[in-house]
Amino acid sequence: MADPVDLYDAKGRKNFLAFGDYRVFLPYLSWTGPKQASVPKFLDSLLLRLQFYLRPNARPANAELWKKIKSGFSSPVQSMLLYRTEDARDTDHAGFIKTDYKNYFIRIFKRHEDLIYQSHQIRFVQEYFAGPFVTTAVVNFFKTILVQEFIRQKRRIDATDYVEKKIIHLSEQFLSRPGTKKFPRDIIPLDLPSVFTGDFDSLGKSIRAWVVRQTCMLHMVPIHGDMTPWNMFVDAEEKLILTCYERAGWHVPYYDYFHYLLQPKARNGRATPIDKIKFDVTYDYLLQAKALYLIDQLYHDIADYRFTSEKDAGLRKVIEIKTRWLRELI
């Protein structure tokens, strides 16, 4: 195959840009997001059939993009499989590339500034989360293309990996260090009123009224920001690999623990009252921290929901469940 081609699925939708023996990368598509990870049995079956459904277009695809990709690698590209990230704010494509020497994961950003931001996020997570977790290092970046180390997954995480305990221990380590403290009013996003409008207006008013009443300061600690079972896996050396660093930064203690515990419940539509959910941590301001975690999550989820061209019913359900939890707390 001398040129890359667009691949169409059984319904004629153009989903992938491929070159060479792209089929070797098909199994790794199951690790591209929470929706896929939430239905692993269905997906595993789908991936077995996917290679038979994909049909290449007869015409060469996106010659300009192909030229840009090839220019960034010193050795020839042997095979490639890129998937389009149409609903992403900052990327156009993501996928896998194989050269003479190694496999890589690449992301193609819409702007160079977005690439620089992502590189900073990766370095941040490497600095604070190395040890319990392994992150995928940046190998190279050029123009709008970020090239990362590709680590093969051996299996999904399970109870034997003690992920919850590791997250709690890491949070406690962060708390034991000297650091900045902030009032809740200084932790919520400054442009929160612009997001909580329309049918979310009453929730925004409740948040602002609650924040005014909070007078205790909280430690600010490093967070991954999207620590979920589908954003990590185990490699051949039985190490925990952590992915997806877009929301890394500084926030309240145990933010990552709350997210690891609550996000799967919200995704699965489990509207268990939050006071019935067991949290294996003791912290003086636990309720306050949980509320601030949910405020931050709703801020991002509502913004994402409004950004998508086709409204995601699953995300809307997540927003409804998190809203219910937050109202129970405030």
Residue 148 pLDDT greater than 80, yes or no: yes
What is the average per-residue pLDDT within 298-306? 90
pLDDT of residue 44: 44
In this prediction the pTM is 0.84
Q: Distance between CA atoms of 181 and 192, rounded to whole angstroms?
A: 21
Average pLDDT over residues 173-198: 89
- Nearest Cα neighbor of 37 from 312, 302, 264 is 264
Residue 279 has a pLDDT of: 76
Burial bucket for residue 110 (CB in 10 Å: 0-12, 13-18, 19+): middle
Residue type present at position 262: L
**C-beta of residue 81 within 8 angstroms of C-beta of residue 22:** yes
Task: Report residue 229 as tokens.
Answer: 């079972």
How would residue 251 be classed by pLDDT, with cut points 50, 70 and 90? very high
Burial of 178 (0-12, 13-18, 19+ CB in 10 A): exposed
pLDDT of residue 58: 46
317 pLDDT more than 60: yes
**CA 43 to CA 35: how far, in whole Å?**
10
pLDDT greater than 80 at residue 319: yes
Helix axes 313-329, 286-307, angle to 10 degrees: 150
Which segment of 34-48, 169-183, 203-217, 309-323 scores lowest on mean pLDDT? 34-48
Q: What percent of the chain has pLDDT over 70?
A: 84
pLDDT band at 30 (very low <50, low <70, confident <90, very high): low
Domain 164-329 architecture? Alpha-Beta Complex (3.90)
pLDDT at 131 over 60: yes
Residue 190 has a pLDDT of 84
**In contact, 279 and 286? CB cutoff 8 Å:** yes
Q: How many residues are given for the chain?
A: 330
Could you tell me which residue, 259 or 26, shows the higher pLDDT?
A: 259
CA distances from residue 136 to 44, 72, 145 in whole angstroms, order as listed: 24, 19, 15
| Token reading at 138 | 């940046």
Indicate if the pLDDT at residue 299 is higher than 50: yes
pLDDT of residue 244: 87
**Cα–Cα dist 81/21, whole Å:** 9
Tokens of 227: 């620590």
Could you tell me the two tokens for 24? 């070797």
DSSP state, 310? S
Query: Which of 101-105, 136-140, 237-241, 276-280 is least confident?
Result: 276-280
Closest CA to 286 of 171, 206, 133: 171
291: number of Cβ within 10 Å: 23
Give residue 86's pLDDT.
Answer: 64
Domain ranges of the chain: 5-150, 164-329
Q: 17 near 1, Cβ under 8 Å?
A: no
For tokens 């509320």, name the residue.
Answer: 291
When pLDDT is averaged across residues 41-46 and rounded to a whole number, the result is: 44
For residues 231-242, average pLDDT:
91
Q: Tell me: pLDDT of 228 over 60.
A: yes
User: For residue 312, how many other CB atoms are within 10 A of its CB?
Assistant: 15
Tokens 């469940």 map to which residue? Answer: 321
In the chain, the percentage of residues whose pLDDT exceeds 90 is 36
Q: Is 52 a residue whose pLDDT tops 70?
A: no
* pLDDT of 69 above 70: yes
Task: Answer whether 92's CB lies under 8 Å from 84's CB.
Answer: yes
Least confident of 153-157, 248-252, 278-282, 288-292: 278-282
Tell me the three state secondary structure of residue 125.
helix
Cα 228 versus chain centre, distance: 8
